[in-house]
Amino acid sequence: MKKKTGRRSLVTLTTAALALSLLAGCGGNNNSGNSANGANSGTDGNKDTAAATDSTTSTAAPAETGIDTSKKVELQFYMLGDAPKDLPVIQDEINKMAQEELNATVKFNYTSWTDWDQKYKLLLSSGQAIDLIFTADWTQYQSYAKRGAFLAIDDLLPKAAPELQKFVPESMWEDVKVDGKIYTVPATYKEYVTNGFVYREDLRKKYDLPVPKDLASYEAYMDGIVKNEPDMMPMSLNSDIGNNLHYIYTELNKMIGALPYGMGVKYESPTTVYSYWGSDEQKEELKTMKRWADKGFIPKNVLNIKDTMQDPMTSGKAASMFGDNPTRYNDMKMKISTTHPEWELAYSPFGLTTGYATPVHPIHNGFAIPKSSKNPERALAFYEKLVLDKRYNQLTQYGIEGKNYTVEDGYYKLVGTSTSNGFSREGMNGWAWRNPEFMLFDKGFDGVKAIFDELDKIQKPDLFLGFAEDYSSYQAEKAALEQVEKQYLFPLEAGLVEDIDKGLETFMQKAKQAGLEKIQTEWTKQWNAYVAEKGIK
């Protein structure tokens, strides 16, 4: 799960030229990869999930794996985010088992959340030897797979991870295919990562503020915070304005995903494509953000803030988040309960306002074998252990029982506090290898399950994540437009431009000079072809 928002982006595909350049950068081995964000969780382990096989506690000897394990290897495993403090201890325990059973050890590497996307791109283009790397829709899994960054694992699965192949439903294997090939192992845990308002309920009660359920009530809540808690940020923000303001705003307005190039498509009318940029709808968004900035909701230095979105909430510096997903909300709530039990956190899912919610697509959390891998068979065999062997799975998800956590009345309980404990729940960001049969939940997660139950009643399928853009005909224009967005659009979206009309006029002029109209025309053709092919109306 991602440390930013729970939003899901529509994936882009690259040109043959880009594919060749990436292959050259990866050293011409076999297939390399890319991935990157997010924290997620879902329904209870017995509902709409894949059942674990009888091999879930297997400790099979190397000879039973079907692969050659005669040579000892060290696997390079790359994760997004920040490593837990007790990672060396967990890694040592995992390696004791892996060395005996697979004649392998593993090195868990982390990108940190600071500029993770740039680091991720570098990992996949440098040719550095990597055996496993996180993938997701928001890390452009389809795009990287399309251009040859990952190794196709169709032929490897029955040899190196036959039980894992059986464990993942066939429909999920089909859903993650790119050009007919499998490049990632999908997570089987059902969850929602759609956004919702996160807010300090104790402060809401104390000052008799409205429950945030839509833009108007959320703004009124922040008004109350500014009035009564002037030293507290009314909402947590950082420099990623696109994800943490713009796309959350458009999700509330029923936009499909995180559409690029200012394109507008609503879930309820997917065949109608329009330009959001320059529209009255966008002007209303910019006016809202300008008003919020004038009221002090958005700090003037927001484009320079590099903190995570969650830290200000757990430290008490911020009173709300414009949007986050139910699982990350629960993570924050659990941390706060150990450090400030007098604080109370609450959540209002957007789905109850918009009228629908989409469960995550199978590509939302996964792991791929990059083309640069020197040990693809061993890597896949090890990943099978992470998913299907309870010892590996729970050790990497929860830490050491008795030291990092206990299980009381069937519930997970953190030992100590979130600051004193070196390995919190899912401390390795191992969302992709969650196994519903082994998952442990804290008592507070009952509230998240209740949210999921509510969203189940209004769920609609994600019909659009299969769209794969090919920007080969406008690659140069795309790069130029990205620079225009950074210079002229982001300040507008952060409410930092005094004259909205003039600022928007300047941005649109610069965007058109960069090739916006060509981009939007070609993108629209591809979108229309996609919905026609899929029979979406």
pLDDT tens for 463-507 read: 777 777 788 899 899 999 999 999 999 999 999 999 999 999 999
Binning pLDDT at 50, 70 and 90, where does residue 65 land?
low
User: What pLDDT, on a 0 to 100 scale, did the predictor assign at position 146?
Assistant: 82
User: What pLDDT, on a 0 to 100 scale, did the predictor assign at position 213?
Assistant: 96
Q: Is pLDDT at 360 greater than 50 in this prediction?
A: yes
Residues in CB range of 84: below 8 A, 6 or more apart: 90, 399, 422, 423, 424, 427, 428
In a domain, 42, yes or no: yes
Mean pLDDT, residues 428-450: 92
Helix axes 500-514, 475-484, angle to 10 degrees: 160
Q: Is pLDDT at 263 greater than 90 in this prediction?
A: yes
In a domain, 289, yes or no: no
Classified as helix, coil or strand, 74 is strand
User: What pLDDT, on a 0 to 100 scale, did the predictor assign at position 37?
Assistant: 31
CATH number at 175 reads: 3.40.190.10
Q: Which has the closest alpha carbon to 19: 472, 364, 367?
A: 472
In a domain, 447, yes or no: yes
In a domain, 84, yes or no: yes
Classified as helix, coil or strand, 264 is strand
Binning pLDDT at 50, 70 and 90, where does residue 256 land?
confident
Q: Is pLDDT at 390 greater than 50 in this prediction?
A: yes
User: What pLDDT, on a 0 to 100 scale, did the predictor assign at position 299?
Assistant: 94
In a domain, 15, yes or no: yes
Binning pLDDT at 50, 70 and 90, where does residue 10 land?
low
* Residue range(s) defining the domain that contains residue 142: 11-191+361-457
pLDDT of 131-143, one tens digit each?
999 999 889 898 8
In a domain, 142, yes or no: yes
Binning pLDDT at 50, 70 and 90, where does residue 156 land?
very high
Mean pLDDT, residues 310-324: 95
The strands making up 104-110's β-sheet, listed across from edge to edge, are 104-110, 73-79, 132-135, 366-368, 185-186
Q: How many domains, the chain?
A: 1
In a domain, 504, yes or no: no
Q: What percent of the chain has pLDDT over 70?
A: 88
User: What pLDDT, on a 0 to 100 scale, did the predictor assign at position 159?
Assistant: 96
For residue 80, give the DSSP letter. Answer: S
Q: How far is it, in rounded angstroms, from Cα 290 to Cα 180? A: 46
Q: What percent of the chain has pLDDT over 90?
A: 71
H or E element that contains 367: strand 366-368
In a domain, 331, yes or no: no
